Chain A
Amino acid sequence: MLELSEQQELMRKVVRDFVEKEIAPIARQIDEEDTCPVELFQKMAPLGINGVFVPAKYGGAGLGFTEMVLVLEEIARHAAGLALGLVAHYMGVYAIMTWGSEEQKQKYLPRICSGGFSGLSITEPGGGSDFTGQKSTGQLVDGEWVLNGRKCFITNSHCMSVNVVTVRTGEDAKGRPQISAFIIEGDTPGHTPGRKEKKAGLRGSYTGEIILNNVRLSPDNLLGKPGDGAKISLGTLGEMGRTGTAAAALGILRGCLEESVKYAKERIIYGKPLSNLVNIQMIIAQNRTDYEAARLLTYNAAGLKDAGKPCAQEVSMAKFFATEASVKAAKRTMDLMGGYGVITDYPVSRFLRDAVATIPACGTSHIMQVIIAGAELRK
């Protein structure tokens, strides 16, 4: 039995109140306009949302990953795009919180817990999964790091306050590329947003390029040690990023469930509610079951992470299942609604676009299956 504590349920209510008042009414608009509601991000910071798992001494709420999932589920219930912007932000926060020095944590975390956007910039035009193939470089020149290159598909690219960026800083003893991570403040000269992508789904957060053009950084901006880039980025993506994406898909699943129930009860056909029909009940049963399974997988993975236990396989299963299930649930719910499902007055067609877009976020289903199977075969 997986059950949240009464305190966590109250947190859910508190977040839900905020989401229903501030986010739900603009969810359709931010999707249509494909903009990121930056001011909303600042409005939710005082609630403790932006630094939910960060210790209080760094300006966070001092909670854990279960609460992070809860926050993301509630936001994604109405606006999955915004939730993914928050996931990207959390990745930058998580990387600094986990691998930053005490000075770095004190310097950056309060800022990004109180309204500034963070993010993690790994992917390059050459590909995301080919981690060691990245071409952006960092060179030590006269005691300063000089970064050059181009990152793409970076969420929060156009509103970044504190960016965590990986670049190639040389080769290790065996001649393999050495990747290092740096903390770059958004307004550092040479650090600029490039092209802004037009997305089919998860609109409501900015995704685009980050250009690094002779960005000069002090050695204090190095996150961890030289060569820690792989550990930092894979650690961040693998546990936090994928748990967050699973939570966003979970929110979409709940949206599908609630919308399907509402429509089935309200829509009268042949003088009776649609919900009287058995085939409609089957759709609701499938939506409910998928939501429940995704919920159990996702909260369980977050709980393992909170307990400090290994969870890479569990996180991957949650992400794989929740994102794929959300696509199916959105499609099913559109089927249930007939023509109304296609009309954008109803949110379900947006749910479908968002659900599809959760699959590549933080690692595709193929990658998730490789991880799941790999862990299984190693046992």
Chain B
Amino acid sequence: MNIAVCVKPVPDPGHYNRININPETKLLDRKGIPVIINPVDKNAIEAALQLKEQCGGKVVLVSMAPPDTVETLKEALAMGVDEAYLLSDRAFAGSDTLATAKILAAGLKKIGQLDLILTGSESADSGTSHVPSQLGELLGLPHLNHITELSLELPVIKMKAKIENGYVEYEGRLPMVLGVAREINTPRYTTLMGVVMAQNKPITIWGLNDLGLDPAGTGLSGSPTQPGDLHFPRHGRKSEILKGEPEAIAGKIIAILRSAGVLA
């Protein structure tokens, strides 16, 4: 069984308070913010490794990112992934979700012979959760997102997909594209031995020409959506600080609740 996991290197969410908007270029300035593997993508890697332990085969990693993310991908290799493909080209910069899905689909097709393609359900930075479905469409494969349980009884794959206040149980057959939710598992810790082994695992870098893509169809020019202005949220409430002993504060809160009409 050959499984591909699509992962996205993202700025570490623990450092989002350091993000700035450059006043001149109006672009995001994320200088100094470390790049990590998108957290829920680690759940996808874990799901793939568990299936490999169950059925044998190979787990490969596919990522569309700048070339300097090689070290980030090594962490995934250290978790136990067998090899990685980095899809990287200047022409890919500015890709929206559809253009990203196109590039990933081209990479996955070139790798070929894949039984299952897993992704995280959404990314920490933009959080659209579009890519799993769009990848499925572009590859012409069945797809589901927000998978919280997954079991394989070949040739049948059974899945639970999250909906509001519940889930839908599905059955299907491979190959398929699935976006996994964080509830599906707890990603394993990477081991020091895994880090050593990762050094000898292959990382293949493919650019625009390797993938046979048209530059007009990728990156910003190939993206139907275009970014406009950026701004920080402004909430504009002036906090009035209520002071006093707890009893006095409780009295003031009650007065506010009454004037708001939620307490008689």
- A18 at interface by CB-CB < 8 Å: yes
Cross-chain contact A14 with B196 (CB below 8 angstroms)? no
Contact A7/B195 with A13-B75, A14-B75 known, Cβ cut-off 8 Å: yes
Cross-chain contact A56 with B191 (CB below 8 angstroms)? no
* A70: nearest chain-B partner, CB-CB: B192
- B74 at interface by CB-CB < 8 Å: yes
B189 CB contact (under 8 Å) in A14, A56, A63: A14
- B169 at interface by CB-CB < 8 Å: no
Chain B residues near A294: list those with CB within 8 A.
none
State the main secondary structure of chain B at its contact with A. Answer: helix
- B87 at interface by CB-CB < 8 Å: no
Name B78-96 residues within 8 Å CB distance of A: 78
* A61 to B190 alpha-carbon distance, docked (Å): 13
Cross-chain contact A63 with B71 (CB below 8 angstroms)? no
Name A353-375 residues within 8 Å CB distance of B: none
- A49 at interface by CB-CB < 8 Å: yes
Q: Mark B181-224, 1 if CB is under 8 A from A, else 0.
A: 00000000111111110110000000000000000000000000
Cross-chain contact B189 with A17 (CB below 8 angstroms)? yes
* A67 to B198 alpha-carbon distance, docked (Å): 16
* A15: nearest chain-B partner, CB-CB: B192
Cross-chain contact B75 with A11 (CB below 8 angstroms)? no
Cross-chain contact A11 with B71 (CB below 8 angstroms)? no
- A10 at interface by CB-CB < 8 Å: yes
Cross-chain contact B192 with A14 (CB below 8 angstroms)? yes
Cross-chain contact A7 with B199 (CB below 8 angstroms)? yes
* A17 to B12 alpha-carbon distance, docked (Å): 12
Cross-chain contact B192 with A67 (CB below 8 angstroms)? yes
* A12: nearest chain-B partner, CB-CB: B195
Cross-chain contact A11 with B189 (CB below 8 angstroms)? no
B193 CB contact (under 8 Å) in A13, A18, A56: A56
Chain B residues near A49: list those with CB within 8 A.
192
Chain A residues near B199: list those with CB within 8 A.
7
Q: State how many angstroms separate the Cβ of A246 from the closest Cβ of chain B.
A: 21
Q: State how many angstroms separate the Cβ of A52 from the closest Cβ of chain B.
A: 6
- A48 at interface by CB-CB < 8 Å: yes
Chain B residues near A47: list those with CB within 8 A.
189-192
* B74: nearest chain-A partner, CB-CB: A10
Cross-chain contact A10 with B78 (CB below 8 angstroms)? yes
* A66 to B71 alpha-carbon distance, docked (Å): 20
Contact A52/B192 with A10-B78, A14-B75 known, Cβ cut-off 8 Å: yes
Q: Mark B120-141, 1 if CB is under 8 A from A, else 0.
A: 0000000000000000000000
* A15 to B199 alpha-carbon distance, docked (Å): 17
* A52 to B199 alpha-carbon distance, docked (Å): 17
* B187: nearest chain-A partner, CB-CB: A17
Chain B residues near A128: list those with CB within 8 A.
none
* A48 to B191 alpha-carbon distance, docked (Å): 6
Cross-chain contact B71 with A14 (CB below 8 angstroms)? no
Chain A residues near B71: list those with CB within 8 A.
6, 9-10
Cross-chain contact A48 with B193 (CB below 8 angstroms)? yes
* A14 to B79 alpha-carbon distance, docked (Å): 10
* A17 to B189 alpha-carbon distance, docked (Å): 8
Looking at B194, B195, B199, the one whose CB has the most chain A CB atoms below 10 A away is B195
Chain A residues near B193: list those with CB within 8 A.
48, 56, 61-62
Cross-chain contact A14 with B191 (CB below 8 angstroms)? yes
* B199: nearest chain-A partner, CB-CB: A7
- A177 at interface by CB-CB < 8 Å: no
B196 CB contact (under 8 Å) in A15, A17, A62: A62
Chain B residues near A7: list those with CB within 8 A.
195-196, 199
Contact A46/B191 with A6-B71, A10-B74 known, Cβ cut-off 8 Å: yes
Q: State how many angstroms separate the Cβ of B182 from the closest Cβ of chain A.
A: 14
Chain B residues near A61: list those with CB within 8 A.
191-193, 196
* A63 to B197 alpha-carbon distance, docked (Å): 12
Chain B residues near A62: list those with CB within 8 A.
193, 196
* A52 to B193 alpha-carbon distance, docked (Å): 9
Beyond the given pairs A10-B198, A14-B195, 8 more chain A to chain B contacts, judged by CB atoms under 8 angstroms and listed by A's residue number, are A6-B74, A10-B75, A15-B192, A18-B189, A47-B189, A47-B192, A63-B192, A63-B196
Q: List 14 A-B contacts (CB under 8 A).
A: A7-B195, A9-B71, A10-B74, A10-B75, A11-B195, A14-B75, A14-B78, A14-B190, A14-B194, A17-B189, A47-B190, A48-B193, A52-B192, A61-B192
Q: Which 6 A-B pairs have the closest CB atoms?
A: A48-B192, A61-B192, A14-B190, A47-B191, A48-B193, A11-B195
